Amino acid sequence: MKLKVYADRMSQPSRSVLIFCKVNGIDFEEIKVEISKREQLSPEFKEINPLKKLPAIVDGRFKLFESHAILAYLACAFPGVPDHWYPADLFRRAKIDSVLHWHHMNLRRGAATYVLNSILAPALGLPLNQQAAAGAENFLSTSLSTIENVWLKGNGRFLLGGFQPTIADLSLVCELTQLELLDEKDRNRFLGPYKKVQLWIESVRNATRPHFDEVHSVLYKAKGILQMQQRKRADSGTNSGVKNSLTSKM
Ligand SMILES: N[C@@H](CCC(=O)N[C@@H](CS)C(=O)NCC(=O)O)C(=O)O
């Protein structure tokens, strides 16, 4: 039975799993679950992931959620996946796990919280929260500094001094591409000081093309819509219309 990937391309961890499957030629079926329509809350999806979050997979009778666990599982379960993604070598693998564990409590906490509360929330029917966005800024900037000065230390173009991407590169870059939703000035305020981070994002993009751009295209489209709505909101002082407009176009 074909692998099923439950995903919403607006979700960072969903994108990492989809890109991984496509780059590695894994035969899978993408099942779209739209967060903006609250489809992740349906009783059918709750059977797949009781936590009602995306992504999730079903491989035969095996169900799994949490993107890092999914990426590691796919790298091991599909024999055609090149070793560099999640090396069999215990020490290299443990280092990758170390970056992945760091990601969830640091970069994700900063980037996802900032983007949600500064621009994305109205598209999901939630209010913007400037206080939460301000609180996330520090996490985001500190995390970018850690990537630049710790994880990207070494000669390679990828994390941990690597010359080829791992599942950690893909996961973290898909988190950072969510910053595409911000306006240029705001995005540059965060990424501008970190030249190695910018080069690394491009390296991961190049290593996973054309799938990287194809999977991200919905995000690039949403950016235009969100920014237009943000301008309208600033003019009228309301949040109305954002959700319907975004949903109908994605
Ligand atoms: N740690 C999880 C995060 C999953 C997650 O938070 N997914 C978000 C989308 S990025 C979601 O499904 N949100 C829906 C909701 O909270 O109702 C992973 O890496 O898979």
**237-246: per-residue pLDDT in tens?**
655 444 444 4
Report in angstroms the alpha-carbon separations of 170 from 21, 186, 200. Answer: 12, 23, 10
**10-residue block means of pLDDT along the chain (250 residues)?**
96 98 98 96 98 98 98 97 98 98 97 96 90 96 98 96 98 98 95 98 98 96 83 67 41
Provide the pLDDT for residue 229: 77
Pocket test for ligand 1, best of 6, 10, 11 (most atoms within 8 A of CB): 11
**160-213: per-residue pLDDT in tens?**
999 999 999 999 999 999 999 999 999 999 999 999 999 999 999 999 999 999
* Domains in the chain, CATH or no CATH each: 3-82 (3.40.30.10), 90-249 (1.20.1050.10)
Helix 211-236 / helix 195-207 crossing angle, nearest 10 deg: 130
How many angstroms is it from 155 CA to the middle of ligand 1? 33
Q: Smallest Cα–Cα separation from 215: which of 4, 3, 30, 52? A: 30
How many angstroms is it from 156 CA to the middle of ligand 1? 31
Pocket test for ligand 1, best of 49, 53, 104, 218 (most atoms within 8 A of CB): 53
Strand-pairing partners, residue 57, are 5, 64
CB-based contact 120:183 (threshold 8 Å) = no
Phi, psi of 59 (to 5 degrees): -120, 100
Provide the pLDDT for residue 225: 85
Residues with Cβ within 6 A of ligand 1? 11-13, 35, 40, 52-55, 66-68, 104
Provide the pLDDT for residue 245: 43
Atom from ligand 1 closest to the CA of residue 65: 20
**Cβ neighbours of residue 183 closer than 8 Å, sequence gap 6 or more:** 227, 230
